[in-house]
Amino acid sequence: MQKKINRALISVFYKDNLESIIHFLAKNNVEFVSTGGTQEFIEKLGYKVTPVEQLTGYPSIFGGRVKTLHPAVFGGILFRRDEPTDLTQAKEFKIAPLDLVIVDLYPFEETVAKGGGEEEIIEKIDIGGISLIRAAAKNYNDVLIVSSRSHYAELLSLLESKNSSTDLADRKRFAAKAFDVTSHYDSAIFNYFNQEQQLPSFKSSFQAGEVLRYGENPHQKGIYYGDLKEVFEKLNGKELSYNNLVDVDAAVNLMQEFSGETAFVIIKHTNACGVATGNSVKEAYLKAFAADTLSAFGGVLVTNQPIDLAAAEEINKLFFEILIAPSYDAAALELLRSKKNRILLKQQRPLTNTKQFKNLLNGVIEQDVDFKTDNSTDLKTVTKLAPTAEEVAALLFASKVCKHTKSNTIILAIDGQLISSGVGQTSRVDALKQAIEKAGSFGFSLKGAVMASDAFFPFPDCVEIASQHGIRAVIQPGGSIKDQDSIDFCDRNNMAMVFTGFRHFKH
C-alpha cells in the first residue's frame, strides 16, 4: 500500500548529503521534527522545524542522553494506522503520526578505532537513536526508516520517483537495512566490552558484501563480506573470484613474514610453490619461479617492493592470475596491463586481523591468528653439531614458509630460496618424499640444504631419509616422546638439529 510522507523526524550525527533531501521534502510540504544540531541545520536552510522538546514538554537532559525517549515521539512512530484502538489512543493523547524517520547513530566504531578513552567511547553508545531506528523499522507497515547516510541516495531517488510516497516493499527493504545497521552496531559494542570480559559468545558483523561469480566451484554461490578497497586498489583485470580471494589471503599473509627484506612469493591453491628473497624484485622473482616453473602457471604472485620495468619484463613472460605489489613504476604497469584479464592489485595496507574463524558442524570455531614467527632466540640446538650462521638463516627462512603451508608439510630450502615442499600429506614421511622428488624434477641438489617441519617427528625416519639426500640441518618444534631417536641419528651422521618449541599446524 502506498503511503504519502507528511511528517518527518530527522536527527542525525552526519549531515553529509542531507541538504538535497531536506529541500525535496520541504518542496513537498513535509513537516519537520528535529533536535539540536540537525534542527539548526534545517532552519539555516530556511525551513520551519518543530523541536522535539515542544512535543515532549521536556528539554534535552542528562547531557543529551535523554531527548527523544517519550511517548509523543515513539507513539507517533509505533501506533498502527489501521488499528482502531491505536487510532483512538493517538487521538486521545494528541499523538501525531511520523511517516519518515531519518536517524543515524553516534560513531562508536570510529571512536574506538581512533583510540578514544573509555569515557568518550561510552558516550558514543547511542540510546535514543537506535531505539528510534528499531521502532520505525518494526512499524515498516506505516513508517519509512532511513538509518544511515549511505542510504540517502536511494531515499532521494525513491521519493523523486514516487512523488514523496512509498510502497510497503520500499519500507520493508529500508527496515531490513535498518536492522542491519542496528545489529552491526550492537555487535561492535559487545565486542568492545568482551575484550575485557571474555564471555564465550561469538559475534562478527560485516556490512559490505559483494556477490561473486560463484563459490569454490561453479555450482556453488559465493559472497565476499568486507571492503576490499580498504586493502587493495585494483589497477587492471577482471573481478576477483572466490578462489582468487582465498589465494590472495594466503599470499599476503606469507609475504608479511618478510618485512624489511625484498621478497617474492608465488601461491597455487593456498600453498607456496615459490618463495625467495633477493637484492631486487627481479632477482627474488627468478629465484622463486625456479623452485617450480610448472605450478607457477596460473598462480597468484606477490612482492613487498615496488615493481620496476626490469622485474615486470620477466614476470610478463608468465601466465598468472594475480600480481600484488605496494606500487608499480609507470613503465612496468603499462607492460603488465597488456593482458586485459590479468589482475593487478596495489596493496595499500597490511592485514591486521587478530582472529580467525570458520563455521563447522553446527557452530563456529575461532582462534588467534598465528603471529609467532620463529626467530634465532627460539632456537635450541639439541644435537652435538650446531648449525652454522648460514644454516640458521636458511632454517628460519624455511620455517616462515612452513608456517603458511598446509599440514603435514616439509620444506626444503637454502638461505633465501624455497627449493621444494611436500604439502597436505597424511604422513610426514610422504611429505618429505614428495619434496625430495619435486626438488629433483626441477634440477636442485639437496646437498647442504635444510629441512623444516611444521610439527615434531614421531620417529627418526624423516631425518634418516633427509641425511641420505645431503640435508645437513633441521628445524622442528620438538615435543615427541621419541625426540631422542631423531637426535641420536643426527649426532651419528653429523647433522645439526634445532627445536623451536612452537608447532605451526595449518589445516
- Give the H/E segment covering residue 324: strand 322-325
- Pairing type for strands 3-4 and 165-166 reads antiparallel
Q: What are the residue ranges of helices labelled H in 2-127?
A: 19-27, 36-44, 52-56, 71-78, 84-92, 108-113, 118-123
Burial class (CB in 10 A: 0-12, 13-18, 19+), 105: buried
Which member of 23, 138, 234, 433 is catalytic? 138
Among the options 70, 162, 172, 269, which is catalytic? 269
Asked if 289 contacts 312 with a C-beta cutoff of 8 angstroms, the reply is no
Residue 269 known to be catalytic: yes
Q: Do the Cβ atoms of 209 and 224 come closer than 8 Å?
A: yes
Q: Verify whether residue 138 is a known catalytic residue.
A: yes
Quote the distance between the C-alpha of residue 344 and its chain's center.
19
How, if at all, do strands 343-347 and 417-422 pair?
unpaired
What contacts 33, CB < 8 A, 6 or more positions away?
A: 7, 8, 9, 10, 49, 50, 51, 52, 55, 73, 98
DSSP of 126-158, one letter per residue?
A: -SHHHHHHHHHHHTTTT-EEE--GGGHHHHHHH
- Do the beta carbons of residue 446 and residue 436 sit within 8 Å? yes
Burial class from Cβ neighbours inside 10 Å (0-12, 13-18, 19+) for residue 128 reads buried
Catalytic residues, by residue number, are 138, 269
